[in-house]
Structure formats: C-alpha cells, structure tokens
Amino acid sequence: METFIGKPVKRREDARFLKGAGRYTDDIKLPKMTQAAFVRSPYAHAKILDVNIEDAQRGDGVVAVFTAQDGCGTFGVPCGWQVDFKNGETMREPQHPLLAKEKIKHVGEAVAIVIAETLEQARDAAELVKVDYEGLPAVTDPGKAMEPGAPLVHDQWSDNAAFDWCIGNDRTEVEAALASAHHVTEMEYRNQRLAPNAIEPRSYIADYDVNAGKWTLYTSTQNPHLIRLLLCAFVLGIPEHKVRVVSYDVGGGFGSKIYHYTEEALLTWASKEVGRPIKWTSDRSEAFLTDAHGRDHVVKSRMGFDKEGKIVAHLTDEYCAMGAYLSTFAPAVPTYLHGTLFQGVYTTPLIHLNVIAPFTHTVAVDAYRGAGRPEATYLLERMISKAAKEMDMDPAEIRFRNFIPPFDGVEQAGYQTQVALQYDSGNYEAVLKRGLEMLGYEDFRKSQIAARKNGKLLGVGISTYIEGCGIAPSAVVGSLGARAGLYEVGAVRVQPTGKVSVFTGSHSHGQGHETVFAQFVADKLGIAMDDVEIEHGDTDQVAFGMGTYGSRSLSVGGSAIIKSVEKILEKGAKIAAHKLEAAEEDLEYAEGKWTVKGTDKSISFGDVSLTAYVPHDYPEGLEPGLDFSSFYDPTNFTYPFGAHIAVVEVDSDTGRVVLKRFVACDDVGNVMNPMIVDGQIQGGVVQGIGQALLEEVIYDESGQMTSGSYMDYAMPRADDVPMIETDRTVTPCPHNPLGVKGAGEAGAIGSTPAVVNAVVDALSHLGVTDIQMPLSPQRVWKAMNNGR
C-alpha cells in the first residue's frame, strides 16, 4: 500500500493556484457590494485642524463618508502581548484608533473612509475630502527617539519608550566577565527595517446581514479566529457567535497578516452603518505605508572570549522600534522571541540583553518571517565571525569550540539556556560538518587564496543558527505576557463512506497544508490521500484555532490532528472488535483495516465507518458516529537549527556583490514532505539574502517614506540568487507525535549573516570589518575604499 510521509508529494493546491483559480478575498464579489477608499495622512506627525467631507459626500456614487467624529471614533485595536518595564512600570499602551482624530502619528494613517458604488468613485471622492493639518517634527529612528528632546509620539508620557526590558544574567556579573575576558569583540549597527511584501496585498470584505443580525468578514489573514476574537471582544463589542470570519486562499503573509488591522474593524463597523457589503483591497503604495514592518533594531554589543576562543560573556543593548502604535504581537518580537535566543547554539555562560522599545513616527514594527530570531542570529553570527577574524581563528573552528554538545532530549536532557528556554534536542556539530562538506570548505579556502592573488575578491561566510518555533505552551507564553493561548485545534470527521474531512485551526497562506496534512492523515489511517480533504480558514467550520505563524502548523496543528486520528482509531477498534467478534486487544490496525492477529479475519476502515453511521449491529453503549475534535497544547517550543554557508564575489570596481553559492544544511526534525521543506528553506533563504543585500525601508528626517515602491525598494529577483543547495540532518523533536520542528522561518533566520560574513571575509584583507545592511554596491564600495 502506498504511503506518503517523507515523500515529495506534489502540492494539491497548486493546480488551482497555477490556473489562476485561487479563492482570494479580492476575487469575491457579493451582491450590492460597495468599495472603500481611505484618506491617508501625507504627514508623519501633525495636528488635524479640520476634516471637511461635504464635497466628498456629494461625489458621484458616494454611499457614505466616515471620520473619527462618527460612531467609529471611540474604537481602537488592541495589542496582544504585554511586556512591562524592568522596574515594574506597566507597558505604555496607547489607543490605536480606527481613524485618526486629533493627531497624526505616521505617514499613511487613515483620517477618513469613503464608501462608494465603485472603486473609481471611492478614489475620486477620497480626493474631495479636505484635511487641514499642522505639520510637526517627527522622529523615525529608534535610537534618536530616545534622545532628550526628541519629538514625542504620544505626549501623555515623558519619553518615547513603550517599555525598557531585560533578560539573562545579572548585568554587573556580565560586565565583570567582559572586563576580565581575554578578548572582547564589539559591534554597533542597525538591523534595518524591512517591508514584508506579500504578493497579495491585504484585502477585506465586511458584510452585515441585517435580517440575520450577523456579520461575515472575508479577510486575508493568517489567523481567522484570533481576528474574530479581537474584533468582537476587544474592538467593536459585538457578539462573537454572530460573526463569521472567512479566510480562504491568502497570497503570502510572512507575519504581516497575523495582526488585527484598523481597516478590518472599520469595514465591519461601517457595513452595518450602510447596510451593504464593503470591500477594500490595499494597493501596493498603501501596503508599504500601512502593513506592519519587520526588524529595525539599533544594536550595541560586546562579546568576551577566553584564549581558546570560547565565549565567556555577552552583553547587548538595543533600541527596537515599535512604530506609532503597538501592533498585535509587536512587544513580543524584540523580547521573548529575540532575547530568548541569545544562547544560540553556544555554551555562553553569561548573557545579558537590554531592550528599550521606543515609539516612532512610523508604521508599526511586528513579526516578520523569523520575528526576533533573525535579529538574534544576525547578532550572534556576525559577532562570532568577527571575533574569529580578530583572534585569527577559522570561523568554523571557533563555532565547533563553542557548540553545545549533542543531546536528543530523550536519553540526554534538554539544554537549559541562560535566557529562559530549554532546547528540546540538537546536534549542532553534525549540521555544520555536513554544511562544510557540501561546500568543500577546505578546497574553497585554497581557491580563495589563489583568487586573491588574481585580484578577485572572493569570500565565504558561515552562520549556525537555532530558532524557537512551534509556538508554544500556552501557560509559558501567558507567563511571558501573551494575552492569548497558543494551542491548536484539529478535527477529523470520517464520513459514512470512509472518506475523511479534516478541519484545522492552522491557516495555509502558501505553506502547502492541504498536501502535508493529508499525507500524514492518510498514512496514519492507511487510506489514500485522495480520501482526505483538509479544510481551514472559516470560523463557522473550524473550532477555535490559533492560526499560522512561528513555524507552528505541523508541530502544533499537526499534533492536534494526530490526537483526533488516534481517537478515531480507538473508537474504530471498538466497532471492529464487535463486528469481528474478537477482543480489542487481539486486533491490529494496518493498511486501512483491523485484523484479528494471526488470522485472515479483518474489517476495513470504510466498513467500520459505515457501521458507525448505520449502527444496526453495534457495540452496546457506544455512541454512533466517527468524528473527533482535539486541542493540542505543546509542552515546549521546538528548536530547529542549521548551518548556512554563502560564497560571494565582490566586483572590486563597483562593490556589487554576486552570490556564487549558497549551501543550507538544516535540521527541522522529521520531514513529512522534503520537496515542501526544500521550498520553504529556499524561499526563506532568498528573503534573508534580500535583507543582506537589497531591502531597506527608508524614512527621511521628516518621516516620509522614500522607499515606498518597487522603484526604490529592492526585492530579490531570481537572477540575484544562485541555486540554493539544500540538505538536512534529522534530530527528531522529542515532545510531539510527529517528531517535527518546523521549517517556515529557518531559511530567513540562517541566511542573512552568512551572506554578510562572506562579504566581510572577501574584503577583510582591505581592512573591512563590518558593513551596514543592506550591502548595496555603494556601501560595499565605500567600505572597501575607506578601509573601515
């Protein structure tokens, strides 16, 4: 019988995607649907003196115009995570209004919504809204936001800090260890701000059914239930059971579609006001200005080493931008998703991180593919490579000297870090050894020497990362300030004919759940993949789920489904035993049938299913039906890891970096579908390369975004990257049933420092020790020529 786990099964969902037949929100057209356009501020910081909507109200086809003076003016979207000051002061949490009322706090903030019969009419009428602003000075850099006298984003507080937080060992102890260290490596840099750039812009349709008294919100989200909860209970105060949130196909999220955005709530409110469905789809310019961004840390770090190159202490101070308002998960990203990974894959005995998170006159910063872990990995991997150079050691050797020894989490206990986490299982030496072997590291170093003699600037960069994903035990995240649980739900409904519908609270926005989940359900039930259908993205169909982010779908969502599969088989065995007139313990289940051990007496899964729904001859006291729902709350995060190695050549005349090779050896635990894992790794790696070489959101001094289009924001293209060479080691996760760890973010976490390390390596003989990302040709050329 054909099995599917571990095989590169082609993605079922691709048939509709490749034919342009996906069901994206903007594809949906409802009867009597209206279209919305927003009036957005061109100022980063301004007083709103007057908003005049009279001309707009008279515009062709205009249905309604709303401002903060209307009923929606009292609502605000909440933050989902509370991180308090280390001195005990509560996190500063400003209201995030649906429409700006008195003050503008970032370019692109909405002042009014115009609803019209057609999109053209909505846009035309939006231009007729006259807003009188009084411009004010702005601050967009997280470091400058904390300087004395910086313009205040929220003037109810004395400075711009949302919180000032720390993690790890006692600061004075770490300082002392640094003071007595054999060598101290230092870096100051900015982990630049990035725009997520999902190919499908955000899109919403709110539809209030006046007869039923119910709302339907179609939304391009990564977590429909969370949106429903926030929208109902925390924003509009409407009953949750009267709201259906639907999110069919979503064209990428990378984190940016986790959050509850003001437009979702405003459309939902307005659809009741106008009594008609309202659609709004962001255009690309709006996406740059209003989708939550990623990264934006200003970093100052010191790492101490002993004579052998072992890390003895690590101390870092960071300013991490929050933006104008606190987005749903924003406070967690530079803290619990970042500081907790400062152990990396190393035995560092003393670690201290302090994070000041300032408000800035910019759009919010929140989780973006990797969310805090890429920033942690970039820091650790740049620092250790810089230290190796300063101490005249090989960058691979210094890592081997610092690795945490292998542990499987079963025979050997998990590894307790200095920064709150316990790693599940890991073998960091093995993954780097394999990576070096794939590259041919020794030979490369020889060819590098020869190339340099010929004037070629060739470099290699290594990065060995760990990340925490499969997020995570609800009790743990609750104690860290999360205002939601982080379990998942999975229901398995066996139909009378033995066909299986699976309902998952995970949400696919490109990951391939419809394929992977069907693979393991089919295997566990011993049936064909075609007999399994995966449903997601509709709160009326699926029980309360938590959605997809933090590489959690398979490890958390998959485990919930497995629990339901086990319940199905347990009940099925009772029915089978009755039909076979045997004891349950004498049965075995394989290849889709229960067999009485040692005999040829058997009953198929399909026959048992039919019996469950036509229970004429049926075990006494057993309920009919074969339909189970389960919640799974993991006991720990999962900890994938890997080694990424980049080879670059730098054009000595222009500074342009050409990636010659990229090797990614990752350990994501057990693998359900190697083709999909390869795809996730490759996509992530390219996104990481984008940060290293190309991408940067730039706000100028006045708070204007000068990189708000693809003319100015450089996305990686196919010809910017070489073929990504992938391989894996397998260290199963010891605490979930599939032994899986997650692969969605790994590529973006490991790759960025590998590329930057490679460029610095290529230029090290010219005195270059660091270059600010993105490593644009201009920056690289200037670094080469200033010899810094």
Partner 1 sequence: MIPAKFDYIKVSSIGEAVTLLDKHGFDSKILSGGHSLIPAMKLRLSRPELLIDISGISGMDGISEEGDKIVVGANCTHQKIASSKLVKEHLNILAQTAGCIGDVQVRNRGTLGGSLAHADPASDYPATVLACDAQIIAEGKNGSRTIAATDFFQSIFTTALADDEIITSVRFPKVANGNYQKFFQSASRFAVVGVAVVKEGDAVKVGITGVSDTPYRASAVESAYDGGSSAAAKAVHGVEVMSDHFADAEYRSHLAKVYVKRALEA
Name the residue nearer to partner 1 (CB basis): 182 or 284.
Answer: 284
Q: Which of 37, 238, 204, 237 lies closest to 121 in space, CA to CA?
A: 37
Output the smallest distance, CB 136 to partner 1, in A. 25
Output the smallest distance, CB 713 to partner 1, in A. 6
Q: Which of 212, 449, 711, 723 binds partner 1 (CB under 8 A)?
A: 711
What is the distance between the alpha carbons of residues 749 and 460, in angstroms, rounded to a whole number?
Answer: 18
Name the residue nearer to partner 1 (CB basis): 148 or 455.
Answer: 455
Output the smallest distance, CB 43 to partner 1, in A. 18
Residues touching partner 1, count (CB under 8 A): 27
Q: Is 132 in the site for partner 1 (CB under 8 A)?
A: no
Which stretch, 41-49, 316-324, 544-552, 775-783, contacts partner 1 (CB under 8 A)?
775-783
How many alpha carbons lie under 13 Å from residue 477 in its C-beta half-sphere?
Answer: 26
Q: Which of 683, 773, 747, 761 lies closest to 465 in space, CA to CA?
A: 747
Name the residue nearer to partner 1 (CB basis): 480 or 698.
Answer: 698
What is the distance between the alpha carbons of residues 400 and 393, in angstroms, rounded to a whole number?
Answer: 11
Q: Is 706 in the site for partner 1 (CB under 8 A)?
A: yes
**Residue 335: strand, helix, or coil:** coil
Which stretch, 115-123, 578-586, 627-635, 662-670, contacts partner 1 (CB under 8 A)?
115-123
Q: Is 124 in the site for partner 1 (CB under 8 A)?
A: yes
Output the smallest distance, CB 13 to partner 1, in A. 26
Q: Is 392 in the site for partner 1 (CB under 8 A)?
A: no
Output the smallest distance, CB 415 to partner 1, in A. 41
Q: Is 715 in the site for partner 1 (CB under 8 A)?
A: yes
Name the residue nearer to partner 1 (CB basis): 36 or 355.
Answer: 36
Output the smallest distance, CB 114 to partner 1, in A. 12
Binding track, positions 276-315, relative to partner 1; x by CB under 8 A: -------xxx------------------------------
What is the distance between the alpha carbons of residues 385 and 751, in angstroms, rounded to a whole number?
Answer: 14
Q: Which of 30, 33, 119, 274 binds partner 1 (CB under 8 A)?
A: 119
Q: Which of 636, 23, 506, 638 lies closest to 226 in space, CA to CA?
A: 506
Q: Is 391 in the site for partner 1 (CB under 8 A)?
A: no
Name the residue nearer to partner 1 (CB basis): 290 or 731.
Answer: 290
Neighbours of 559 (CB within 10 A): 24
Quick one: tokens of 105?
A: 């706090």
Name the residue nearer to partner 1 (CB basis): 55 or 584.
Answer: 55
Output the smallest distance, CB 119 to partner 1, in A. 6
- Buried b or exposed e, range 502-531, using 16+ CB within 10 angstroms: bbbbbbbbbbbbbbbbbbbbbbbbbbebeb
What is the distance between the alpha carbons of residues 416 and 549, in angstroms, rounded to a whole number?
Answer: 25
Q: Which of 261, 269, 549, 713 binds partner 1 (CB under 8 A)?
A: 713
What is the distance between the alpha carbons of residues 660 and 74, in angstroms, rounded to a whole number?
Answer: 55
What is the distance between the alpha carbons of residues 131 and 112, in angstroms, rounded to a whole number?
Answer: 9
Output the smallest distance, CB 425 to partner 1, in A. 40
Output the smallest distance, CB 109 to partner 1, in A. 19
Output the smallest distance, CB 200 to partner 1, in A. 14
Chain residues 612-671 in contact with partner 1, contact rule CB under 8 A: 653-654, 656
Which stretch, 160-168, 296-304, 503-511, 770-778, contacts partner 1 (CB under 8 A)?
770-778
Q: Which of 120, 188, 588, 591 binds partner 1 (CB under 8 A)?
A: 120
What is the distance between the alpha carbons of residues 581 and 334, in angstroms, rounded to a whole number?
Answer: 60
Output the smallest distance, CB 247 to partner 1, in A. 23
Q: Do 419 and 169 touch, CB atoms closer than 8 A?
A: no
What is the distance between the alpha carbons of residues 159 and 148, in angstroms, rounded to a whole number?
Answer: 8
**Residue 69: strand, helix, or coil:** coil
Q: Do 607 and 579 touch, CB atoms closer than 8 A?
A: yes
Q: Is 675 in the site for partner 1 (CB under 8 A)?
A: no
| Sole residue written with tokens 């610092």 | 402
Burial class, 738, CB count within 10 angstroms (exposed 0-12 / middle 13-18 / buried 19+): buried
What is the distance between the alpha carbons of residues 105 and 325, in angstroms, rounded to a whole number?
Answer: 8
Which stretch, 142-150, 259-267, 470-478, 774-782, contacts partner 1 (CB under 8 A)?
774-782
Q: Which of 543, 698, 721, 766 binds partner 1 (CB under 8 A)?
A: 698
Name the residue nearer to partner 1 (CB basis): 529 or 694.
Answer: 694
Name the residue nearer to partner 1 (CB basis): 391 or 714.
Answer: 714
DSSP 8-state class, residue 600: S
Q: Do 287 and 68 touch, CB atoms closer than 8 A?
A: no
Q: Which of 85, 234, 618, 781 binds partner 1 (CB under 8 A)?
A: 781
Q: What angle do CA 83, 486, 633 make, to 5 degrees?
A: 135
Adjacent-strand bridge partners of 62: 116
Q: Do 205 and 278 touch, CB atoms closer than 8 A?
A: yes
Name the residue nearer to partner 1 (CB basis): 389 or 782.
Answer: 782
**CB within 8 Å of 784: residues ≥ 6 apart:** 650, 652, 655, 763, 766, 768
Q: Is 710 in the site for partner 1 (CB under 8 A)?
A: yes
Output the smallest distance, CB 33 to partner 1, in A. 16
Output the smallest distance, CB 775 to partner 1, in A. 11
Name the residue nearer to partner 1 (CB basis): 482 or 783.
Answer: 783
Name the residue nearer to partner 1 (CB basis): 82 or 285.
Answer: 285
Which stretch, 3-11, 121-129, 396-404, 411-419, contacts partner 1 (CB under 8 A)?
121-129
What is the distance between the alpha carbons of residues 677 and 350, in angstroms, rounded to a whole number?
Answer: 35
Which stretch, 123-131, 324-332, 381-389, 452-460, contacts partner 1 (CB under 8 A)?
123-131
Q: Which of 624, 623, 625, 582 lies closest to 602 in space, CA to CA?
A: 582
Which stretch, 158-166, 243-251, 641-649, 708-716, contacts partner 1 (CB under 8 A)?
708-716
**CB within 8 Å of 329: residues ≥ 6 apart:** 80, 81, 258, 259, 366, 367, 371
Q: Is 782 in the site for partner 1 (CB under 8 A)?
A: yes
Binding residues for partner 1, rule: CB under 8 A, are: 119-120, 123-124, 127, 283-285, 653-654, 656, 693-694, 698, 706-707, 710-715, 776-778, 781-782
